[in-house]
Amino acid sequence: MQIPAEIAFHNIQHSDWAEQAIREKIARLEKLFDRLVTCRVRVEKRANNASNGHNSIPPVVRIEIGVPGHKDLVVSHEPEHLQQKFSDPDMRIAINEAFRIAERQLLDFKEQLKGKTKAPFSDAQNQFLGQVAELAPERDHGFLLTKEGGLLYFHRNSLLSGDFDALKRGDRVHYVEDHGDTGPTAVKVRVKAD
């Protein structure tokens, strides 16, 4: 991960075993998808509601997974769902269920990146604004400066609007980040209209 994982407990006592279990689950997510940017996990206990017929409401486990070129994947498994599925849900069950859903979302996202799904993400959802940082017209490629300050390779053929030969350093462009054979690349590059 580019940014270390964050684990927080709110309105519930910190638990070493729970933190260790969460770290193991995060490591499993990293094995499923090695390009994770970050992972934030929040375990929160909500006030007991005596009128619901349950002695104890399980904690809410919220997971935010940062992935490149896309908004965060978010899982927030509500206690009511756990109470419907399990007779006496506890923190261990809440963590396991939240990460089970997170794994499924991450695998779905990974499949969509590979183009194996019938419902790909729309360009607008994946589009970012960057600027041309370097050009090598004789080699038909250049590099974009991303909003995070990194450089992203793009090929002449990735330019959908605008003239590659007319591009200059500092030109603002919209792009979609994709994963190529050698790492992240910019695809569907469009010169930003002023």
Angle at the Cα of 77 (from 84 to 26), degrees rounded to 5?
130
In terms of Cβ atoms closer than 10 Å to its own Cβ (0-12, 13-18, 19+), residue 102 is buried
Residue 119 lies in a domain: no
Total domains in the chain come to 2
CATH of the domain at 60: 3.30.160.100
User: Which among 80, 114, 148 is the end of a domain?
Assistant: 114
pTM of the model: 0.55
90 and 137, same structural domain? no
72 and 35, same structural domain? yes
In angstroms, rounded to a whole number, what is the distance separating the alpha carbons of residues 37 and 39?
Answer: 7
Instruction: Render pLDDT for 100-127 as a digit per residue (tens, 0 to 9).
Output: 989 988 988 888 877 654 444 456 667 8
Q: What is the pLDDT along the chain (194 residues), one digit of tens a residue?
A: 788 999 999 999 998 999 999 999 999 999 998 888 999 999 998 765 444 444 578 889 999 999 887 888 888 766 777 777 777 788 898 999 899 989 988 988 888 877 654 444 456 667 888 999 999 888 889 999 987 788 888 988 888 887 888 899 999 998 888 876 667 788 888 888 76
- Expressed as residue numbers, the domain containing 36 is 6-114
131 and 110, same structural domain? no
User: Which among 72, 91, 114 is the end of a domain?
Assistant: 114
* Bridge partners, residue 172, by sequence: 131
Percentage of the chain with pLDDT > 70?
A: 86
